[in-house]
């Protein structure tokens, strides 16, 4: 099965996670999700693999989070996924997928659990 990292080269945790994967002898497919965001369906699959809700995967410190009042409890999971697809900077990173499993690289070593 292929190894995939949803990567943001501007993020130190994302760079550290990619380096950790490469040092472990793995060659992941790199998806720069800011350039190529996942579809809503793919993001829902990732959430399911992580065992997360959209609120667990949304970056709360991003300006857009406050700007669009994304902490509003009246927003549905579908609403939040829509915002993350439209503004992929809101997606927490890095996300690693391998063999039907997913891990968030915060801390980077956490991804080793699914390899």
Q: pLDDT digit string (tens) for 72-88?
A: 999 999 999 999 999 99
Q: Are residues 11 and 47 in the same domain?
A: no
Q: CATH no. for residue 15?
A: 3.40.30.10
In the set 3, 8, 11, 104, the catalytic residue is 11
Residue 1's pLDDT is 59
User: Nearest Cα to 34, choosing from 65, 1, 7?
Assistant: 7
Q: Are residues 49 and 26 in the same domain?
A: no
User: Nearest Cα to 28, choosing from 104, 95, 107, 113?
Assistant: 95
115 touches 22 (CB < 8 A)? no
On the CB side of 57, CA atoms within 13 Å amount to 29
- Rounded Cα distance between 34 and 88, Å, is 6
Q: Which domain, by its residues, includes 106?
A: 1-33+93-115
Q: What is the pTM of this model?
A: 0.94
Per-residue pLDDT tens digits for 4-60:
999 999 999 999 999 999 999 999 999 999 999 999 999 999 999 999 999 999 999
23 catalytic, yes or no? no
């Amino acid at each position: 099965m292929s190894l995939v990292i949803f990567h943001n080269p501007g993020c130190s945790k994302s760079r550290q996670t990619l380096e950790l994967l490469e040092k472990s002898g793995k060659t992941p497919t790199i998806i720069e999700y800011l350039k190529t965001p996942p579809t809503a369906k793919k993001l829902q699959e990732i959430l399911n693999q992580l065992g997360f809700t959209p609120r667990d995967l949304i970056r709360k410190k991003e300006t857009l989070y406050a700007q669009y009042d994304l902490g509003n409890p009246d927003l549905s999971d579908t609403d939040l996924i829509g915002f993350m697809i439209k503004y992929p900077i809101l997606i927490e990173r890095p996300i690693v997928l391998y063999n039907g499993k997913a891990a968030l690289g915060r801390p980077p070593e956490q991804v080793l659990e699914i390899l």
